[in-house]
Chain A
Amino acid sequence: MLSPSDTGLSGIRGEGFTVAVEAAETLVVRMSGNADLELLPRLGPFLKQLHAEASRVAVTSVTVDIRELYFMNSSCLKAFITWIVSVGKSDTHCRYSIHFLSNSNLRWQQKTLEAMRAFAPDLIEIENAA
């Protein structure tokens, strides 16, 4: 069981968005608000650090909860895909699955998540958990 202090990750908080990290049996990243140009400069470094920490503590899965993420722009989508591709290219012992919790009431999520999954279909699971 992970505790938050096992990871060196801290979340991101800004006007209009929050990225929170929890640690339990797996790493959980909860995003809320809008992933837009304001979040972008911080999102890339956060995802890099997330990958480094997830690899270091050897989690088997990272959950990304976007049920309260009202929108994600294409630049943040690109940051996510950069992360996903880096996970896919990692050595086997550093690789983990990525489990998205989505909200079917936020209609943009379905096609955007499908686009993400196209880059690592073996690693990504999408669950409608609204």
Chain B
Amino acid sequence: MPPKAAQTSLQLDGPPAVRMINSARQFIQDLCTTVVDSATSSRVALAAHEMLENLAKYSDGGPTDLSIAVEGCQGGSRIVIRTSNRANSEQRHELERVLTEISTAEEPMAMYLDIIAKSLEHSEGSGLGLARIRAEADMELSYTISGDEVTIAAATGAIDHVESK
């Protein structure tokens, strides 16, 4: 019998304060260790931190949302982190470009190192955080855009054992 799905979320009136992000990451990691192994918790925490920082840097005003869910998938269960925020047209186009590059890369680590190398020539806005989620946290990225709202999802693969607690 697959484990029961569970979800927790953080909803804010605006972008997260930088000082809140470390605490949120630690909370998420501690929460995850109650249901999955420490390696998976660390991966999820890394992704959550990078996604929260992206909310802080790139939201175009308005509420922001982060949710973490345990969802059923082929092979068992997986953890999915989603963030939502308003983004302007330029930000949405850049996001689509970056996520297409990341999600179509055949070798995530090579893609990551390439994005790092390119980012050294620019001061901002490289997609480095998202590339890190894919390569270091080994999580699949996807996105949806509805009007000016962007939702990004980072998902682990099927996890061997998720405890129902």
Contacts from A to B (Cβ < 8 Å): 15-16, 34, 36-38, 70-71, 73-75, 77-78, 81-82, 85, 106-108, 111-112, 115, 118-119
Contacts and interface: CB of A to CB of B under 8 A. Distances in A.
B86 interface: no
A115 to B, nearest CB: 7
A43 to B, nearest CB: 14
B39 A85 contact: no
Which size bracket describes the interface of B in this complex? 20 to 34
Contacts of A15: 19
Given A36-B53, A77-B132, A78-B128, A16 B19 contact: yes
Contact of A107 (B25, B39, B50, B135): B39
B30 interface: no
Q: Which 3 A-B pairs have the closest CB atoms?
A: A107-B42, A111-B136, A74-B129
Main DSSP-derived SS at the B contact region: helix
Interface of B: 18-19, 21-22, 25-26, 38-39, 42-43, 45-46, 49-50, 53, 56-57, 109, 112-113, 116-117, 119-120, 126, 128-129, 131-132, 135-136
